[in-house]
């Protein structure tokens, strides 16, 4: 399950409308609608935390491990890196969608790929500065 699904699940469990949740979290109803449609994602952890607090859950639950990787990429290197990680997560998740891996094994594979991405990013940054 991904962020949009977890968000809608928790909002429905709490018996809140999108507008009510938006008011409690300090965002617009359109923002919540976009999050649930999957057309947008929160841009920072503060927004996610406010939504989680309003829903009586945790930011970690709403994000799941893959969402946390995307948020970390956003924080460290901006939206381009977040898109890269999101694409990588989607591809890896799709690769193992047949149920051949447990959630723990899939999370371990994601962590390993995420670590490899950041190592490559750091190495590339080191060499990119020499090319200029």
pTM: 0.63
In whole angstroms, give the CA distance from residue 63 to residue 58: 9
What is the structure's pLDDT at 10? 96
For 115, counting Cβ atoms within 10 Å of its Cβ (0-12 exposed, 13-18 middle, 19+ buried), the class is exposed
Query: Which range marks the domain in which residue 16 is found?
Result: 3-57
What is the structure's pLDDT at 32? 96
CATH number of the domain encompassing residue 24 = 1.10.260.40
Give yes or no: residues 90 and 113 share one domain: yes
Give the position of tokens 């094994």.
105
Residue with the larger pLDDT of the pair 2 and 54 = 54
Give yes or no: residues 69 and 122 share one domain: yes
User: Please, which pLDDT band fits residue 127 given cuts at 50, 70 and 90?
Assistant: low
What is the structure's pLDDT at 68? 72
Q: Residue 38 in 3-state DSSP?
A: coil
Give yes or no: residues 69 and 126 share one domain: yes
């Amino acid at each position: 399950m991904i962020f949009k699904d977890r968000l809608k699940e928790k909002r429905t469990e709490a018996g809140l409308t999108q507008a009510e949740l938006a008011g409690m979290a300090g965002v617009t109803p359109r923002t919540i609608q976009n999050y649930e449609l999957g057309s947008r994602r929160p841009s920072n952890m503060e927004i996610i935390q406010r939504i989680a607090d309003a829903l009586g859950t945790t930011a970690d639950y709403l994000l799941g491990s893959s969402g946390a990787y995307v948020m970390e990429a956003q924080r460290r290197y901006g939206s381009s890196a977040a898109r890269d990680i999101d694409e990588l997560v989607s591809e890896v998740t799709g690769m193992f969608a047949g149920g051949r891996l447990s959630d723990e094994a899939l999370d371990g594979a994601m962590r390993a790929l995420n670590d490899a991405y950041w190592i490559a990013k750091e190495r590339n940054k080191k060499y990119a500065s020499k090319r200029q």
